[in-house]
Structure 1
Amino acid sequence: MPPGVGGVAMVYVVSRAIVRRLLSIVFLVKSIGAEREPATGPVVVCGNHRSFLDPPIIACYLRRQVTFLAKAELFRVPVLSWFIRSCGAFPVQRGGMSMETMKTAIKVLKDGGMLVVFPEGTRQKTEKLGEGKKGAASMALRSKANILPVAIIGKYKPFRRLKVVYGEPFDAAEAVAHLPPAEQADALTVKIMSAIQDLLDRHR
């Protein structure tokens, strides 16, 4: 359901506005390159992962509604479960992505949606980019999606400047079309992580 239509989308739109305002006050967030967001079609938004605040920071500067993967434990709290579902999240079990979660993610993309994925798989304790897992690449290839790389730069400290930088989107399948199918997911993962690292290097 597109933003602005129906109750769920309205919750998302209002929540995004509130979160964006709070982040701009508390973390002095500066957004760079959000206009690069593809206007239509499936998009896997791939960013570095430092904090549980990464998903809302990435989402609230984008025009389109995005979908998240969130820890299954969060969905056991009734009011919180309703809220995060309304904001586009669906559960992923601890310890890895299940087949059911993968199917849900691919359906979101095949329906033309945007999905936020952190290829590192878990939050990193340092500013150094971790090793990428190929789940995001596999989703993008199977759904014929674009990749939108994102870098969150800075420390989550009140009243210290934090930047969220959106890179140039690229077609996942086209990026690895020259390779045999068995090698494409791994190669695309390398390209995704390189794109995130490039943003980190250029905007620190």
Structure 2
Amino acid sequence: MSFYQFAKTVVKIVLKPKYKVKEVGTENIPTEGPVIICSNHISNYDPPIVGITCPRPIHFLAKEELFKNKLFGFILKKVNTIVLKRGMNDRNALRKGLEVLKEGNVLGLFPEGTRSKSGELKRGLAGAGFFALRSKATVIPCAIVGSYKSKEPLKVIYGKPVDMETLRENKASAQEVTDAIMNEIKKIKENR
């Protein structure tokens, strides 16, 4: 068992019953080939929650501040996390993210860039569109619906792939692609 699988099992045992996590639409995630999962961001728990509900291992981008604690940083690296320097165009993180996709793996992104404390969707950053346009990945919108404080189940809903073909034909910019992805996440939230 890889460290990733071990960590996923431990996190699943701890978080799934605590937040009554239910995943919906995992059949929309291709079983092979490059995939970008784009989710809304409401809590620090979102990456592990998406990680335990996705049937495939995910490589997340995470702000470099999270790596300052040596033990936590070590664990993050062992579970495929890519360091992202925020507030600048981090070419190294972009290159590593594209490599993940080129190798046919899953890249997990939170296009909003930071948590939404109100739970309302914020405008996504162009980075998600950049990865979508620069790769041949299937883009899967994901909505985390509910609250980590509520007694209601927390739902992780994976939508149908975003229509990248039309966006490419229309020569959409990275920001326009991100806006389209965020719109799909919004629809999932509204139609839950």
TM-score by length of 1: 0.88
* Distance in structure 2 (CA, Å) of the matches to 1:33 and 1:84: 26
Deviation readout 1:71-91 (Å, 9 max, x if unpaired) = 212223222222111111011
* Match in the other structure for 1:192: 181
TM-aligned CA deviation for residue 184 of structure 1: 3.3
TM-aligned CA deviation for residue 155 of structure 1: 0.9
* Match in the other structure for 2:39: 47
Q: Which of 78, 82, 86 is matched with 2:74 structurally? A: 82
* Match in the other structure for 2:124: 132
Question: Percent identity at matched positions?
Answer: 36
TM-aligned CA distance change 1:97 to 1:43, over 3 Å = farther
- The residue type equivalent to 2:81 in the other structure is A
TM-aligned CA deviation for residue 105 of structure 1: 0.8
- The residue type equivalent to 1:101 in the other structure is A
* Match in the other structure for 2:29: 37
The ranges of structure 1 where at least 4 consecutive aligned residues each deviate by more than 3 angstroms after the TM superposition are none
Matched, 1:61 2:53: yes
Deviation readout 1:44-93 (Å, 9 max, x if unpaired) = 11000111111111111122111011121222322222211111101111
Deviation readout 1:143-178 (Å, 9 max, x if unpaired) = 121101100011111644211101112453x13132
Q: Would you say how many aligned residue pairs link Structure 1 and Structure 2?
A: 192
Q: Which of 169, 178, 184 is matched with 1:178 structurally? A: 169
The correspondence of residues 143-158 of structure 1 with structure 2, limited to 5 A, is: 143-157=135-149
Q: Which of 5, 8, 17 is matched with 1:25 structurally? A: 17
Deviation readout 1:76-131 (Å, 9 max, x if unpaired) = 32222221111110111132441111111111111111111111111111121101
- The residue type equivalent to 1:128 in the other structure is E
SS at structure 2 position matched to 1:177: helix
* Distance in structure 2 (CA, Å) of the matches to 1:179 and 1:104: 27
Contact 1:11 1:86 in 2 (8 A): yes
TM-aligned CA distance change 1:15 to 1:168, over 3 Å = same
TM-aligned CA deviation for residue 139 of structure 1: 0.8
* Distance in structure 2 (CA, Å) of the matches to 1:81 and 1:166: 28
* Distance in structure 2 (CA, Å) of the matches to 1:24 and 1:149: 21
- The residue type equivalent to 1:176 in the other structure is L
* Match in the other structure for 1:7: none
SS at structure 2 position matched to 1:186: helix
* Match in the other structure for 1:120: 112
* Distance in structure 2 (CA, Å) of the matches to 1:16 and 1:48: 21
RMSD of Structure 2 on Structure 1 (CA): 1.6
Q: Which of 47, 62, 79 is matched with 1:70 structurally? A: 62
